[in-house]
Structure 1
Amino acid sequence: MALSPALRELQRDLESEANALSKIQKDISKNHQVRKQYIVQLGENELVLKELDLLKEDANVYKLIGPVLVKQDLAEARANVNKRIEYITAELKRLEGILRDFENKQTSKKESIMKLQQKIQGAQAGKTKA
């Protein structure tokens, strides 16, 4: 039994939408992985900041640059860590916005796929009755 051109077109559309949905789901997965890394970095930097806050103002602070420990001013170290925390927080907010967009697109694609499936089922049901 040959498929009608309209039914073939619907199935092509369905396949295209399914591929698009798969790509969106991969993007969501990547987003989750990146966010997880930033969350770990944020925790580490907050811990470093707490440790720096425990130090006295005249304490020696060293920064690891490659294989060398370089002496650093405590205020400068705090400022650097604060900047890193601000950057990571901004990146997390940006990634959350992107994730919301992906989730909206995913929902839209799922609805589109369901409508296409219903059209195909309707076309097939109409054909079997004939």
Structure 2
Amino acid sequence: MSSTSALRDLQRELEAKANDLSKLQKDIAKNHQVRKKYTVQLGENELVLKELDLLQDDTNVYKLIGPVLVKQDLAEANANVRKRIEYISAELKRLDSALQDLEEKQNSNRDAILKLQQRIQSLQAGKVKA
């Protein structure tokens, strides 16, 4: 009777670990989506910065705010784009770090699931022999 309850406990634990693994995989997929979005934004902002660097100091620069183009100082526009690039780069580093943590958790969770499956199989094999 005790091996049956132990088997049930192991199966419940296995189910919980499988649910955790599924959640981790969803979190990893979400991280990849957000990272992709930031990577695109970084590329766009770097392109804008290159274009701004080509302009002369007295060139008129306009910023789109809603449906309106507003005149902006070239130095201010340059500083804003650099700040945006800095922010996006920091977010990408943060996402990379989070992704690494999630992948480590995923790997340890997979190992735990394999061990639980082996224990369940050995208990079931012992039950069949008895």
Deviation by residue 1:83-119 (Cα, 9 ceiling, x = unmatched)? 0000000000000000000000000100000000000
The alignment partner of 1:63 has SS state of strand
Counterpart of 2:18 in structure 1 is 18
| Residue identity in the other structure for 2:28 | I
Runs of 4+ in 1 over 2 A off after TM superposition: none
Give, in whole Å, the separation in 1 of the partners of 2:14 and 2:47: 49
| Residue identity in the other structure for 1:35 | R
Give the TM-score normalised by structure 1.
0.97
The alignment partner of 1:62 has SS state of strand
Q: Does 1:82 align with 2:82?
A: yes
Q: Write the mapping of 1:83-122 to structure 2, written as runs, cut at 5 A.
A: 83-122=83-122
Aligned alpha-carbon RMSD (Å): 0.7
The answer for unaligned runs of 5 or more in structure 1 is: none
Deviation by residue 1:28-81 (Cα, 9 ceiling, x = unmatched)? 000000000000000000000000011111000000001110000000000000
Number of aligned residue pairs: 128
State the identity as a percent: 73
